[in-house]
Amino acid sequence: MKKPLVIGVTGGIGSGKSTVCNAFVSLGIPVIDTDQVARDVVVPGSAGLAAVATAFGADVLSAEGTLDRVALRRIVFSDPQRRRELESILHPRIRARVAELLQEITAPYCLLGIPLLVEGGKKNQQVERVLVVDCPEEIQIARVMARDKLTEQEVAAIMQTQATREERLSVADDVVTNSSDLAIVQHQVNALHARYLALAEHR
């Protein structure tokens, strides 16, 4: 069976990645969410969780045996070496699980949601094209304030840790502009769907 064309989807917090992915799902296109995969590889009983506990100690496990993300974040937050260590445990497992999920896909193309694709630096080997979901920062801030009940300063602080709009757009092969209503998003997604089907067909 032909491998699906893999489109990486990225965008800043609250830009509308989930909204855009859902618009593709409504057309029957599968979406793999790497945030979900990152959680799946450290479920209780997994080799991933055992490796994290070996490297970081039992303090990163909750009483129920799940990963205590707050404790782990506290350790890696201000220690780049420990963060790299954590990434060296998680990233290969995430990649392997994504590869398995890709094997199961029968659609001509699929989306791979990677919120921090640009921040990751080097080119992601599992992605053939990059789709950036873009909107002006004021809209991003307003949406996240409304959704997550955060202050403007709190949203701005999160955005400070992410790539800038320009950095993201500079690596985009395709862009969905999500600055008005949902019908306009679906219209752009329909056009991309036709393009991706044609690209998948001719590669």
3-state secondary structure 31-94: EEEHHHHHHHCCCCCCHHHHHHHHHHCHHHECCCCCECHHHHHHHHHCCHHHHHHHHHHHHHHH
- Can you tell me which of 16, 94, 132, 193 binds ligand ATP, judged by CB under 6 A? 16
- Regarding 147 and contact with ligand ATP (CB under 6 A), the answer is yes
43 in Cβ contact with 90 (< 8 Å): no
CB of 15 to ligand ATP, least distance (A): 4
Selected binder of ligand ATP within 17, 165, 168, 193 (CB under 6 A): 17
Residue 186 found at the interface with ligand ATP (CB under 6 A): no
> Residue 49 or 98: which CB sits closer to ligand ATP?
98
Contact segment (CB under 6 A) with ligand ATP among 10-18, 56-64, 69-77, 82-90 equals: 10-18
Taking a C-beta distance cutoff of 8 angstroms, is the pair 17, 144 a contact? no
Smallest distance from ligand ATP to CB 155, Å: 10
- Tell me the CB-side half-sphere exposure of residue 189, using CA atoms within 13 A: 25
- What phi, psi does 139 have (nearest 5°)? -70, -40
**For residues 49 and 155, which CB has a smaller minimum distance to ligand ATP in the complex?**
155
Identity of the residue, 124 or 178, whose beta carbon is nearer to ligand ATP in the bound complex: 178
Count of C-beta atoms within a 10 Å radius of residue 29: 22
Which stretches of the chain bind ligand ATP, using CB under 6 A?
A: 11, 13-19, 115, 143, 147, 178, 181-182, 185
